[in-house]
Amino acid sequence: MDGTTVGTDYQILKLKPYNPSIGAVVSNIDLTRPLTDAELAELKRAFTEYQVLFFRDQQISHEDHARLAEYFGTIGQHVGKKTNSQPSDDPRVRKFYASGEVPRVSGNLWHTDQSCAPVPPMASILYLHTIPDNGGGDTGYASMYAAYDALSDRMKVHLDGLTAVHEGKHVFGDGTPDAVHPVVARHPESGRKLLFVNPGFTVRINDISLEESDALLKYLFEHCLRPEWTTRFIWEPHSIAFWDNRCVWHRAIGDYLPQVRSGFRVQIEGVTPPVMA
CA dist., res. 28 & res. 266, Å (int): 22
Nearer to ligand SIN, 114 or 163 (CB): 114
Contact string 58-97 vs ligand SIN (x = CB under 6 A): --------------------------------------x-
Positive or negative, the Cα torsion across 233, 238, 244, 250?
positive
What SS3 class is residue 146? helix
Nearer to ligand SIN, 159 or 243 (CB): 243
Is 207 one of the annotated active-site residues of the chain? Answer: no
Pick from 53, 28, 198: nearest CA to 127:
53
Pick from 85, 41, 87: nearest CA to 62:
87
Q: Which residues contact 3 (CB under 8 A, 6 or more apart)?
A: 16
Contact string 163-202 vs ligand SIN (x = CB under 6 A): ----------------------------------------
Q: Phi/psi zone of residue 67: left (φ > 0), alpha (ψ -120 to 50 degrees), beta?
A: alpha
Is 238 one of the annotated active-site residues of the chain? Answer: no
Minimum distance between the CB of residue 158 and ligand SIN, rounded to whole angstroms?
Answer: 30
Q: Which of 51, 112, 115, 139 is close enough to bind ligand SIN by CB under 6 A? A: 139
Task: Point out the catalytic residue in the list 64, 113, 138, 244.
Answer: 113
Interface size with ligand SIN, residues (CB under 6 A): 8
For residues 238-267, which are near ligand SIN according to CB under 6 A?
250, 252
Is 265 one of the annotated active-site residues of the chain? Answer: yes
Nearer to ligand SIN, 113 or 167 (CB): 113
Nearer to ligand SIN, 133 or 212 (CB): 133
Nearer to ligand SIN, 111 or 187 (CB): 111
CA dist., res. 244 & res. 262, Å (int): 21
Q: CA-based angle 87:88:94, to the nearest 5? A: 60
Nearer to ligand SIN, 193 or 251 (CB): 251
Q: Which of 7, 80, 107, 182 is close enough to bind ligand SIN by CB under 6 A? A: 107
Task: Point out the catalytic residue in the list 94, 111, 166, 181.
Answer: 111
Is 113 one of the annotated active-site residues of the chain? Answer: yes
Q: Which of 43, 122, 123, 126 is close enough to bind ligand SIN by CB under 6 A? A: 126
Q: Which residues contact 185 (CB under 8 A, 6 or more apart)?
A: 193, 194, 196, 246, 274, 275, 276, 277
Pick from 136, 103, 146, 115: nearest CA to 233:
136
Q: Which residues contact 147 (CB under 8 A, 6 or more apart)?
A: 194, 195, 220, 223, 224, 226, 229
Residues that bind ligand SIN (CB under 6 A): 96, 106-107, 124, 126, 139, 250, 252
The residues annotated with a catalytic role in the active site are 111, 113, 250, 265
